[in-house]
A and B are shown apart, each in its own frame.
Chain A
Amino acid sequence: MIRVVLPPHLRALAQVKGEVRLDVPGRVTRGAVLDALEARYPMLRGTIRDHVTERRRPFLRFFACERDLTHDAPDAPLPEAVASGAEPFLVIGAIAGG
């Protein structure tokens, strides 16, 4: 079971509290986690990555295991601790704006 921590606005949009837990079939990559997240919570489609290009929205970053994974390839495997559920995958909104 993969654990995902969403920023507060996306938790509100998805109507969830706390961490999201997802079954991710196959290799645990960022793309696979986001695919599973959007399948479970369709209202999040387009909010983390573009509907069509699947590019990350510019003010969002991806952290896990105290590492910034934002610029890793979407199909690169996530750390084993994320794949095993020991550590969460974090979607982080940039500190910006008023």
Chain B
Amino acid sequence: MSGVRVLVGTRKGAFILTGDGKRKQWKVSGPHFAGWEIYHMKASPADPNRLYASQSSGWFGQVMQRSCDAGKTWETPGGGMGKTPDGMPTGESNKFVYDTSPDTGKPLTTHQFYDGTQHPWEFKRVWHLEPSLTDPDVVYAGVEDAGLFRTSDGGKTWQELAGLRGHGTGPKWQPGAGGMCLHTILIDPTNAKRIYVAISAAGAFRSDDGGTSWKPINQGLHSQYIPDPKAEVGHCVHRIALHRSRPNVLFMQKHWDVMRSDDAGDSWREVSGNLPTDFGFVIDVHAHEPETIYVVPIKSDSEHYVPDGKLRVYRSRKGGNEWEALTKGLPQQDCYVNVLRDAMAIDSLEPCGVYFGTTGGQVYASADAGDSWAPIVRDLPAVLSVEVQTLA
């Protein structure tokens, strides 16, 4: 029987919500890694039992976790799967060290800081994990300060893809209020050599050679908060999304503005249309309709909650510009939550399910592509990320 597994990262631990095919009955497990921030948790498309989680804390730094049994048990994979003779796990908490080798790392020294000075890159945490579509041991990690790492041994070791920071625009990148983070990684399902990433506040970038070389893809973006609103880099892109059947079409929620590209990011045009506000964080695409997209408008960059006290998902069935509010089952008064950039996901059942988590700790699900909603849970810690697995 089909079902879904929703992976929820929160400020104080991870939760796994398992639902039936109708997405009405739910079982909640957690908190896993209680008390730690779980920025992201994602499953390998090549092995549904293989999960990866980014566990971090302001006190103790970054820990990577891996599960080979769908989240029942976890291990720190840094030292491999082995145990010492007296039974202790041997895994390190994982090591993310920026590439400073003479060939690739020498010029990768500084980025722009809040005060306009140049500042050295300092690793803080992993924001996003993107497992390979074909190999459960290969995972990309987007980190703060912005960089892209890759493991090919199931999380034991991580190497930086230094061409991203080193392609030339790095010194112009700068942190947003949430830090300078690489938060979005998209792998083209038809061409594993093509990878898209997005960075706050630098913009979107594309590699066509598996991550070795990169170029900014921000033409058409317009950001009033940087000195040159049309600059090559410096844009605070919050999220990009694509449909696997049409990977050259990208959708973007920028700091302000919802954008669309029909040429793999080479150019962008605005499709905010009739949205009540085009500020927001999440954007995602329907599982079966590549022109149907979802956003959650947020009031403004200075008021990070939904406008008018109403939690509304907006859906466009025309790839943008024309949007309808989806409100059935969502609070329509006195609601002041935010939905963070990694906190929306879509399953591939028929009709597709849409899920999102809020800073108020609710995780909402729609089993009818957004027409109606119900909370799976209401009182988790603030939700940082939501992913969903469709189970056979």
Of all chain B residues, which has the CB nearest A47?
B60
**Contact residues in A for B60 (Cβ distance below 8 Å):** 9-10, 13, 47-48, 57, 60, 93
Which among B36, B58, B79, B97 is the interface contact of A42 at CB below 8 angstroms? B79
Q: Among the interface residues B57, B62, B90, which one has the most CB atoms of the partner chain A within 10 A?
A: B57
Q: Within 8 Å of chain B (Cβ to Cβ): is A73? A: no
Over the window 3-16 of chain A, the binary record of Cβ atoms lying under 8 Å from chain B Cβ atoms (1 yes, 0 no) is 00001111011110
Complex Cα spacing A43 to B381, Å? 26
- Chain B nearest CB from A47 CB (Å) reads 4
B20-75, CB < 8 A from A? 34-36, 57-63
CB–CB B88/A47 < 8 A: no
Number of interface residues of B (CB under 8 A): 22
Q: Which of A8, A9, A15 contacts B88 (CB 8 A)?
A: A15
Residues of chain B lying within 8 A (CB to CB) of residue A47: 60-61, 63, 93
List the B residue with the shortest CB-CB distance to A52: B97
* A41 near B88: Cβ-Cβ < 8 Å: yes
- The minimal Cβ–Cβ distance linking A26 to chain B, given in whole angstroms, is 22
Please give me the residue from chain B that is nearest to A40 by CB atom.
Answer: B88
Whole-angstrom distance between the alpha carbons of A9 and B61 in the complex? 11
Interface residues of A in 42-69 (CB under 8 A from B): 42-48, 51-52, 57, 59-60
Contact between B35 and A43, CB atoms less than 8 A apart = no
Question: Are A43 and B76 within 8 A (Cβ)?
Answer: yes
Q: Is A97 an interface residue (CB 8 A)?
A: yes
List the 10 closest A-B pairs by CB distance, nearest first.
Answer: A47-B60, A59-B59, A43-B76, A93-B59, A51-B95, A45-B92, A42-B92, A46-B93, A42-B79, A43-B91
A-contacting residues of B (Cβ < 8 Å)? 34-36, 57-63, 76, 78-79, 88-95, 97
Apart from A13-B93, A94-B59, what 10 extra A-B contacts exist at CB < 8 Å? A14-B88, A15-B88, A44-B93, A46-B95, A47-B61, A51-B95, A52-B97, A59-B58, A93-B59, A96-B58
Q: How far is the CA of A7 from the CA of B88 in the complex (A)?
A: 19
Residues of B within 8 A of A13 (CB): 60, 63, 76, 93
Other-chain residue from A40, A43, A94 in contact with B78 (beta carbon distance below 8 A): A43
Name the A residues within 8 Å of B91 (CB-CB). Answer: 42-43
The distance in angstroms between the C-alpha atoms of A68 and B87, with both chains bound, is 34
Q: Considering the chains assembled together, what is the distance between the CA atoms of A34 and B61 in angstroms?
A: 16
Chain A residues with CB under 8 Å of B95's CB are: 45-46, 51
List chain A residues, Cβ under 8 A from B58: 59, 96-97
B61 to chain A, nearest CB (A): 5
Measured CA separation A47–B55 after assembly (Å): 11
